Amino acid sequence: MTAHVLIVEDDEDYITELTAIFRGLAAPSRLTIARSREEARELLDSSFYDFAILDLKIPTGDGTLDLDSSYGKFIFHHARKVTPGTKLLVLTSSPSDDFIADLLTQKHDADIWGEGANVDTVEFLRKIDIDRAPEMIRKVVDAIHGLDGVELDMRSINLSTGEDRLVRIFAKRFGAMRCAVSKIGAGRSGAKTLRLQLFDGGGAPFRDVVAKLGSQQSMRDENGRYETNIVLLSGAVTPRKMTMLEFGAGPTAGLFYQLAQGHDESMFGAIAKHDDVAANAVAATASALADWSSGKAQTRRTVAEIRACWVSDETAQTLQATYGLGWAAEFERKSLQARWCWVHGDLHGENILVAEDANIMIIDYGDIAMSAASYDPVSLELSAVLQKNDTISSAWPNQATCHQWHDLDAYLGNCPIPGFIRACREWSTTVAAGRREIAASAYTYLLRQLKYSDTDKERILALLEGVRAYMAST
């Protein structure tokens, strides 16, 4: 395990001394030198670093003579912004500098590398005390190298350096000697959802985990949603949060949830094998999320208000113009009754894990928001025909069939998964305030899918015609 280190320093004597310290350590390091504010900023924006050593008095550019501590202060705050999980060692000329108190507010204690003890995420060292640097640096590099003690079985999964660090930190913290990593979920948020199986020193598996890895802000947002909303749902169908890790992986943070054993395939996988099992799993999902919608009063909304929960006005106008949806403006002005409540917001078939007995586990709560209650069941139904899976071929639904979305019996002609589709539609009908709400939710989901480059645009546009007919029937 090689420590990735950035040294921001323009004094060649100190660069030589710091380089010698790293080269004298048993554990390897990869050093990058930045001699100015601009070079340091560019490197922080483009590369991963476990550890950064920052001299506060640096010039703005290479070769300039405008040394000033404010430039180092800028880099300090920039590092905290773009790579908040990177440990910093700040070199100062004097601890009495008037901005040190400001920098100290960014200092935290955390068990950064899973060693079982908290350390400072930011440390300060006066240059006249540089003889203390070797021991401070050695502790950091040894801790990073210690992550190599966790063996990762990647199963063809590609992880960034930060993601790799975070999985190892988590596994080490919980005493795992080996961690098998597989990917689950197919969301489009930019975060990565993984399944981790932890093994002890005797080779026995002892815990299944769902890991959600993404930016620190997105993980904090999801953690807040968990504490506010997910805890309201049954623990039998939602994974219990184990921990959130914010340090040790540069820009990447992670939420880790304990997963009950036996949920070995996704809803899409269940559909491919047993339509009746999938239908039962849809009913179980509806029951699991009922606490969010049960008893919630109806409100008066427009289609545009429901759409705006998931697609901005600007994006909607662009999509409508690009795909010739001239009817959409009038469609969005339609008023309707809606049951307004918390919804999952990304309830596709990969975010529901299914056991053989149709028991389910719902994962990935990064998109929870207030919206129409029917948005989740509509999303689940339509995800089966729009997101890549092994069940639905290009043959169904064809364009003519998509136009029949409003007529369920006609729509299901030659359908390979009628039980699943009917169960989703029954859930939509049960939870929605009325048919107009269902039409608005379907329109919103389909418009949202038009944003992505890898979706079947012809199928989406044909389904939108079916949704228009569904609305017209109300």
pLDDT tens readout for residues 159-184: 999 999 999 999 999 999 999 998 88
Residue 233 has pLDDT above 90, yes or no: no
Task: Write down the pTM of the prediction.
Answer: 0.86
What pLDDT was estimated at residue 250?
Answer: 96
Residue 65 has pLDDT above 80, yes or no: no
Distance CA 68, CA 54 (A): 13
Least trusted range by pLDDT, from 6-20, 111-125, 350-364, 390-404: 390-404
What pLDDT was estimated at residue 86?
Answer: 96
Angle at 54 between CA 139 and CA 220, to 5 degrees: 75
DSSP H or E segment with residue 194? strand 192-199
- Residue 186 banded pLDDT, cuts 50, 70, 90: low
Q: Which residues of 303-314 are buried (b: 16+ CB within 10 A; e: fewer)?
A: bbbbbbbbbeee
Distance CA 352, CA 288 (A): 11
Distance of CA 14 to the CA centre of its chain: 40
Q: Which residues contact 113 (CB under 8 A, 6 or more apart)?
A: 143, 144, 146, 147, 169, 172, 248
- The β-bridge partners of 122 are 88
- Residue 64 banded pLDDT, cuts 50, 70, 90: confident
- 3-146 and 150-259: identical CATH topology: no
- Residue 246 banded pLDDT, cuts 50, 70, 90: very high
Section 35-54 average pLDDT: 97
pLDDT per residue as tens digits for the range 280-299: 999 999 999 999 998 899 99
Least trusted range by pLDDT, from 305-309, 366-370, 437-441, 443-447: 366-370
Structure token pair of residue 128? 């006249």
pLDDT per residue as tens digits for the range 355-365: 877 789 999 88
* Fold adopted by 265-472: Aminoglycoside 3'-phosphotransferase; Chain: A, domain 2 (3.90.1200)
Angle at 343 between CA 260 and CA 457, to 5 degrees: 100
What pLDDT was estimated at residue 315?
Answer: 97
Residue 201 has pLDDT above 80, yes or no: yes
* Fold adopted by 150-259: Phosphorylase Kinase; domain 1 (3.30.200)
Domain boundary assignment for the chain? 3-146, 150-259, 265-472
Assigned superfamily of 3-146 = Response regulator (3.40.50.2300)
The mean predicted confidence, pLDDT, of the chain is: 91
What pLDDT was estimated at residue 265?
Answer: 81
What pLDDT was estimated at residue 390?
Answer: 57
- In the numeric block, the tokens 């440990």 are attached to 87
pLDDT per residue as tens digits for the range 18-42: 999 999 999 999 999 999 999 999 9
Least trusted range by pLDDT, from 67-71, 140-144, 377-381: 67-71
Distance CA 260, CA 368 (A): 22
What pLDDT was estimated at residue 264?
Answer: 74
DSSP per residue, 311-368: S-HHHHHHHHHHTT-TTHHHHHT-EEEEEEEEE-S---GGGEEE-TTS-EEE---TT-
Dihedral angle of Cα 68, 74, 79, 82, to the nearest 10 degrees? -150
